[in-house]
Amino acid sequence: MTRAQWRAMIAHLEAAYPEEGCGILLGEQHSALRVVRAVRPTPNAWEDAATRRSRFTIAPEDFVRAAHEAEQHGWDVLGFFHSHPDHPPVPSETDRALAWPATVIVIVSLRAGRAAETRAWMLNDAGQIAAVPLDMREA
C-alpha cells in the first residue's frame, strides 16, 4: 500500500468517526505478495444507526461496482478495510465469523477520531485469523 492510498483510507475512516467506516482494497496478487492498486471507500451500509459504532457492512452494489472495476484492470478484490472507533485494531468475533478465505482484513484503530494504529489480518489454513505484514511504500 502506498502512503497516498493509506491517507485516502484514513481520511474516509476519520470522516466516518465515531461510526465504523469501511471500504474495499483492489490490486494484484503475486503469490504471497499483494499490491494495492486502488482504495475504494464505501458507505457503512449497516442499517441500524445505533450500532454503527461497532458494526459495518458494505452494500452489495458497492461491492459489485468495485469487483467490476477490479476485473476491468485485471486486478482482484484483495480485501476490505474498516475502522474500530476507540477499540484496538484486532478482529472482533463478528470480523472472524465473516472473514473470507484468502482475503485481507485491514483494521484501523481510531482514538478520539484520529487514526492510531493500522493492522492487517487474514484467515490462515487452519481457519484462524492471523496478523499479516502491511508494507507502506512511498509511491
Residue 115 grid coordinates: 487514526
Active site residues: 20
- Shortest distance (Å) from residue 20 CB to Zn ion: 7
Place of cell 470522516: 15
Q: How far apart are the first and last CA of the chain?
A: 8
Q: Of 36 and 108, which has the nearer Cβ to Zn ion?
A: 108
Tell me if 103 contacts Zn ion by CB under 5 A.
no
Applying CB under 5 A, the span of 59-67, 94-102, 113-121, 122-130 interacting with Zn ion comes to: 94-102
Instruction: Say which DSSP state 92 is in.
Output: -
Are the C-beta atoms of 39 and 8 separated by less than 8 Å?
yes
Q: Is the peptide bond before 18 cis (omega within 30 degrees of 0)?
A: yes
Q: Give CA–CA dist 130/90, Å, rounded.
A: 10
Residues of span 2-61 touching Zn ion by CB under 5 A = none
Q: Of 69 and 95, which has the nearer Cβ to Zn ion?
A: 95
Tell me if 95 contacts Zn ion by CB under 5 A.
yes
Q: Of 33 and 97, which has the nearer Cβ to Zn ion?
A: 97
Among 92, 103, 111, 132, binds Zn ion (CB under 5 A): 92
Applying CB under 5 A, the span of 42-50, 67-75, 88-96, 112-120 interacting with Zn ion comes to: 88-96
Q: Give CA–CA dist 40/26, Å, rounded.
A: 8
- 3-class DSSP state of 37: strand
Binding site for Zn ion (CB under 5 A): 92, 95
